Structure 1
């Protein structure tokens, strides 16, 4: 683990030849990602139970509600609380899991402290990160942990991609995403300051790990990085429009037509094996001191 410079990632280097993983060409989102998207998301139904479809058969246990409840019953001592601004939670959940429609930036009014508070991919969501971390500290039991996982932008270890100044439409898109969210008062690239925010709030033993997610699966060298790249590409292509339409039209004054024109080029860049970009992910955790 590191608290400063990025650790080396020798697996993230370009390779030539056929990787054996699915890769794509073309301009449109569909059908170029349809087969991969279905393999990642769909489940296999067998004998009244559902199983994973991606790498079918590797894991022999079901992934359905019955199995989730079995796992929850195996850990009855744990209680999990999830919050979201939208009422999108499933109707049936394990008995020790609760969902609340709430805003994590509002005052926290829980009747107990937590052993673990976890927030993931909340870049662009909060106006006041120090206040959130302070609230988390107050609601963490002594000896408990806060963990934050978030994107810290696009990066590259060679000269095939530059984020600023932007070297391609993908880089231009991300630069404008950050500008749009900044204009709305909710920084997209706040993750770089999380470790210091946690220390300032009172957390100790703060550790930070940098993880690299290749933007696609066409250039990484190792099988593990190729697989991460496959998932990353699907996730990025799915998220492009959601991350762009409202921020660009509301905060930057773009027309919807201009946004769609940009995204057409960005999708090409995401699939481009000559662009060795990756998402820089920061994972930070800290402990509330024992009292």
Structure 2
């Protein structure tokens, strides 16, 4: 079993260093021409019984708790998010040190883009992606399949996994302790969990966000208040590493990356990440906020949109150097070997310290 996580891209800026500010241009990537393949597998008609409100489309299953839309605009945002994480990882799809995996679960797979690319990377591995919405493409690698499933229900996969991948589930999970326990039970000994989350507490290194982005302050204050009231807290990032340890995982480690919003970084790779993050945030402001503000906080659509537009103005405002921290946490289920009447736990130890 391999034990070393992929090395950092040597050409990518040190994630612990300050982002150098360069010339801020307006040539953000045009996200209007991008679209995700919305073809889906053959499923029962009830799965497609979507809910439409305030001009957006939502999954009908567990609509009250899950507040993000599933329409084409949201699918575009999910694929842009995948691009950002691939860029931050220097082209890698994961940090968990996998060695000839046979079964992988992508929990909350969205458009399925990560699962599909993992299927190409590991052609001998069976990969299952699950989501509340059947928005994944039809034509996928033969070793990739998708299921409509709710991770809060009982897990009935009938197999043990070598890796379970979770990306951007905050705001949709009521109890991460329960999810991590289920993941632990569903993993084979030596298997890995990998959690990818954005810290929903933006900041700036030069104080411009704190001083100038009043619209974003109002937006995130409302967002966190609504998610807490719903019972699916939007920002549990600081507690997630400990929760994974408490579930029984060993070799738990965390990497933190900086993702700027906008084209203001001097470094060309950070600038490209910033352009993409701008597109993600401009779409995401409504994706995350609209249903929470109207359903949970009781706002009408006009009031909710005023807060969303205030956030968007600050996102596109020159001189505001907003940064989001991105966290990737991995942990391993211990190997267990039977000895004379007792259980002896054996774990691997990574050669590389992941911060």
Considering the TM-score relative to the shorter chain, is it more than 0.5?
Answer: yes
**1:36: which partner in 2?**
30
Q: What is the distance in 2 between the residues matched to 1:227 and 1:75? A: 28
In structure 1, the residue corresponding to 2:30 is in which secondary structure?
Answer: helix
**1:113: which partner in 2?**
160
Kindly tell me the number of residue pairs found equivalent between the two proteins: 247
Listed one character per residue, the Cα deviations across residues 152-207 of structure 1 (whole Å, up to 9, x for unaligned) are: 121222211229xx951012101211111111000110122111011111111111
Q: State the shift of 1:264 in Å.
A: 2.1
Q: What is the distance in 1 between the residues matched to 2:24 and 2:255? A: 31
Q: What is the distance in 2 between the residues matched to 1:96 and 1:215? A: 36
Q: What is the distance in 2 between the residues matched to 1:79 and 1:221? A: 41
Greater RCO, 1 or 2 (C-alpha within 8 Å, sep 6+):
1
- 5+ residue gaps in structure 1? 24-34, 44-53, 55-67
**1:232: which partner in 2?**
277
Is residue 2:16 matched to residue 1:8? yes
Q: State the shift of 1:243 in Å.
A: 1.0
Question: Normalized against structure 1, the TM-score is what?
Answer: 0.77
**1:201: which partner in 2?**
247
**1:179: which partner in 2?**
225
Pick closer, same or farther for the CA change 1:267–1:108 going to 2, 3 Å.
same
Pick closer, same or farther for the CA change 1:228–1:77 going to 2, 3 Å.
same
| Aligned alpha-carbon RMSD (Å) | 2.8
Listed one character per residue, the Cα deviations across residues 68-110 of structure 1 (whole Å, up to 9, x for unaligned) are: 9999577432010000011222223221111111011112111
Is residue 2:209 matched to residue 1:161? yes
Q: What is the distance in 1 between the residues matched to 2:251 and 2:286? A: 38
**2:63: which partner in 1?**
none
**1:151: which partner in 2?**
198
- 5+ residue gaps in structure 2? 6-13, 38-82, 84-114, 337-355
Q: Which consecutive segments of 4 or more residues in structure 1 shift more than 4 A?
A: 38-43, 68-74
